Amino acid sequence: MEATINNENFYQYKGKHKGILGWLLTTDHKRIGIMYLAAMITFFVVAMFIGFFMRLELLTPGQTLMKPEVYNALFTLHGVIMIFLFIVPGLPAVFGNFFLPIMIGAKDVSFPRLNLLSWYLYMAGAILAVVSLFTGGGLPDTGWTFYVPYSIRSTSNVSTALFAAFILGFSSIVTGLNFIVTIHRLRCKGMTWFKMPLFVWGLYSTAWIQILATPVVGITLLLVIFERFFGIGVFDPALGGDPILFQHLFWIYSHPAVYIMILPAMGLVSEIIPTFAKKTIFGYGPIAMSSLAIAFVGYLVWGHHMFTSGISDTSRAIFSLLTFIVAIPSGIKIFNWIATLYKGSIEVRTPLIFVMVFIFVFSIGGLTGLVLGSLNTDIHVTDTYYVVAHFHYVMFGGMGTLFFGGLHYWFPKMFGKMFNEKVANFSVVLFMIGFNILYFPMFIMGYLGMPRRYYDFLPEFQIYHQISTIGSWVLVTAILIMIINLIVALKNGKKAGSDPWGGTTLEWTIPSPPPLENFDIEPEVTKGPYDRV
């Protein structure tokens, strides 16, 4: 029976349903991954252009393009779409879905129907977020953090946006649960815990955060909705509630969410480097364990978002200490990656260039995080552009770069086609240049006292804003070239073999694109994921 489906990849497979229904009703983890990919690239491009227009507004002082209420709505939308629809779910939903089962030698995830449900929850949340724009009292204008009491008082359509984020949370929980069970139950013969690819370790750590932390923000957002409609008085100080409580609950989720974003990205780096260095990973154990350490300590540092909120000085000191400690495992990973390059036989191909850009940009993001974990300096720079620069370096430079890096790495496997590498390499280099022109000036103006979420600015900050805006033009150009290059490859790309890069993990042992159930014969693993001897 296996022999008959051997030549057919999962795109060609004819199931119960044909055409579009074959996608919308599929339970194939690969098709679901592709559907996430299509949705996420769309949302990313929308939010990118929102950011582009925000930067354009800040080109000159006073009104350049739009009124302050529009600007306030745009930074809210940019944040909500990027965080809830792209950065947090991105890597697990797209590459986790497509590659997790393949990398552990399984036919699918443990609960394929639940997997489809999580896609529908994601789309429902996304549609609700769009609905919030066109209904009710106008565009939500609270920022993606929804801080009370402003989010209670605002007459704009905050409740719908909150509910959208709540639903998206469910999608995340369901995906996390599915992945944990899949990793525990469906590893193929010989795939012991320490023979799992490091991307799987990243997903595993992330999945635990998803199911443990997301419910906290879910209930918190729901309470804000109740507060808006019924005045229950949990957060509203006028009714005896506590606005600080909201900040605690919000960051108990939203700080670990940073690690939800970054751990799979770090896992991806650990895949790409051995492939192009033609070498086993240096320090498999420390890299895997540092993922768990980050996931665990990452729970205990939320208070560093609240160093100026009025929480006690003692708790500020404890949160600061823990924040410094969480920096260490990230450092360990970077050192091990560099060490993996040592005495390798390195082929500089597009995905490796992405990783090199990632290491440079993410290191800047991580290291500037030390200034924010440090108590006295954070008090000065918190809520300024310094923070804006920091989290764009970490999230966009980290997860964002690796999202596109992963897309280039696995593009031949997912679609069976190769892209034009010269164009891709050009776009990555341009990406890095634009990125730094856009975000680096923000560190400087932040330290000089430019607060964030400002529609306007004092004359002394104009030069930094202008450089930054010019950077945004370069960056957008680079991303568009990158995406168009891939779309062209979808149509005209050369056929990719099963292992175009010379990788060692299981996904490179099966045809590109993979057949419906991935493996004709259940694989058996006898050596480490990156072993070449």
Partner 1 sequence: MNSSIAQQTDATFIFITAVSVVLLLIVTITMIYFVIRYNKKRHPVAEQISGNTTIEVIWTLIPFVLVMIMFFMSYSGFKNLRNAPSDAMTITVTGKMWKWTFDYENGKQTDTLYVPLNKPIKMAIKSADVNHSFFIPHYRVKEDAIPGRTNYLWFNPIELGYWDIACAEYCGLQHAYMYSKVIVMPEAKFWDWYNTKTDTTAIVKDSLTTKVDSIQKK
We find the least distance from the C-beta atom of residue 131 to partner 1, in angstroms, to be 23
Contacts of 153 (CB under 8 A, 6+ apart): none
Taking a C-beta distance cutoff of 8 angstroms, is the pair 95, 410 a contact?
yes
- Closest to partner 1 by CB, 119 vs 251, is 251
User: In angstroms, what CA-CA distances link 114 with 110, 178, 514?
Assistant: 9, 8, 22
We find the least distance from the C-beta atom of residue 168 to partner 1, in angstroms, to be 22
We find the least distance from the C-beta atom of residue 124 to partner 1, in angstroms, to be 28
In angstroms and rounded to an integer, the radius of gyration of the C-alpha atoms of the chain is 23
d(CA 27, CA 522): 20
- Closest to partner 1 by CB, 210 vs 350, is 350
Taking a C-beta distance cutoff of 8 angstroms, is the pair 87, 40 a contact?
no
Contacts of 331 (CB under 8 A, 6+ apart): 366
Q: Which run of H or of E encompasses 21?
A: helix 19-24
We find the least distance from the C-beta atom of residue 246 to partner 1, in angstroms, to be 10
- Closest to partner 1 by CB, 70 vs 177, is 70
- Closest to partner 1 by CB, 178 vs 382, is 382
Give strand ranges (E) for 51-181. Answer: none
- Closest to partner 1 by CB, 345 vs 526, is 345
We find the least distance from the C-beta atom of residue 238 to partner 1, in angstroms, to be 7
Taking a C-beta distance cutoff of 8 angstroms, is the pair 413, 348 a contact?
no
We find the least distance from the C-beta atom of residue 158 to partner 1, in angstroms, to be 12
- Closest to partner 1 by CB, 43 vs 284, is 284
Contacts of 426 (CB under 8 A, 6+ apart): 481
Residue 410 exposed, middle or buried by CB count within 10 Å (0-12, 13-18, 19+) = buried
User: In angstroms, what CA-CA distances link 250 with 207, 217, 275?
Assistant: 19, 6, 39
- Closest to partner 1 by CB, 73 vs 217, is 73
We find the least distance from the C-beta atom of residue 472 to partner 1, in angstroms, to be 19
Q: Pseudo-torsion of CA 24, 25, 31, 34, nearest 10°?
A: 20
We find the least distance from the C-beta atom of residue 296 to partner 1, in angstroms, to be 16
- Residue type at 128 in one-letter notation: L
Give how far the C-alpha of residue 526 lies from the chain's centroid of Cα atoms, to the nearest Å: 32
We find the least distance from the C-beta atom of residue 248 to partner 1, in angstroms, to be 13
d(CA 241, CA 61): 39
- Closest to partner 1 by CB, 182 vs 469, is 469
Taking a C-beta distance cutoff of 8 angstroms, is the pair 252, 314 a contact?
no
- Closest to partner 1 by CB, 72 vs 110, is 72
- Closest to partner 1 by CB, 2 vs 347, is 347
**Closest to 213 (Cα-Cα) out of 256, 171, 180:** 256
We find the least distance from the C-beta atom of residue 285 to partner 1, in angstroms, to be 7
